[in-house]
Amino acid sequence: MDLFSDIAQAEIDKMLKCSRAASRRLSAGEYIFRQGEVPQMIFLLQEGEIALVKDFASGKRNLLYTVKTNDVFGEAFLFAGQSHYWYDAVAMVDCRVLQIPWKFFYGFCENACGHHQMITRNLLEILAGRNFSMTKKLHLLSSTSLKEKLAIYFLENADKSGNVRLSMNRENFADFLGVARPSLSRELMNMQKEGLIEVDKEEIHILDRDAIESFY
């Protein structure tokens, strides 16, 4: 669901002006917001890729998820009543981000614009979809072993041919699973030796689906 779905371009332009939204460019490695800062905006990624990460004092990093072009992020803080960000948003490559002030979503403008109601509906659908995705990740992270986590991830992301294309590099994948990169590499090699999968750079090929499902 796109934040501007079913809204004409002329209405989008009017809405951006009404909300006082602003576009911002960021370089790879630059932070959009940091843990502890006060939330004031909803963000729409116009170009690039962004990681939402939780850093710990120990130096460990947990990748919550990656934001792709046209995805909304930071929206949970609008309705959750949280006074501070509890994770970071960092640009993985050069990015362009649209920032929309919260107050635009808190009340309708004096003209009771139809597009304002539409964008609020779209945002609620995005929130529902994000909640479902996070529920799936919670199920994955609650697994007792790394092999079980990988089995769940592969089965939920495989195409009809049993191929899984990883949308992140090995380091980010390890952060996403909440494990050390060497542990991830070792388990992938073990599963390959057992004839469960075949690792081919950015792709994983499921060779024994029945065995993989037994770990689920």
* 40 band by pLDDT with thresholds 50, 70 and 90: confident
Q: Where are the domains of the chain?
A: 9-137, 143-214
- 143-214 and 9-137 share a CATH fold: no
What CATH architecture does domain 9-137 belong to? Sandwich (2.60)
Tens digit of each residue's pLDDT (9 = 90 or more) over 139-191: 676 777 899 889 888 988 889 889 999 888 888 888 888 888 999 999 999 99
> Tokens standing for 100?
């929309």
Please indicate, yes or no, whether the overall pTM of this predicted structure exceeds 0.95: no
CA atoms of 66 and 89, how far apart (whole Å): 9
How many residues would you count in the chain? 216
Architecture of domain 143-214: Orthogonal Bundle (1.10)
Is the pLDDT confidence value at 94 over 60?
Answer: yes
Residue 207: band (very low, low, confident or very high) from pLDDT cuts 50, 70, 90: very high
Q: Which residues of 145-175 are buried (b: 16+ CB within 10 A; e: fewer)?
A: ebbebbbbbbbeebeeebebebebeeebbbb
pLDDT in tens, 188-200: 999 999 999 999 8
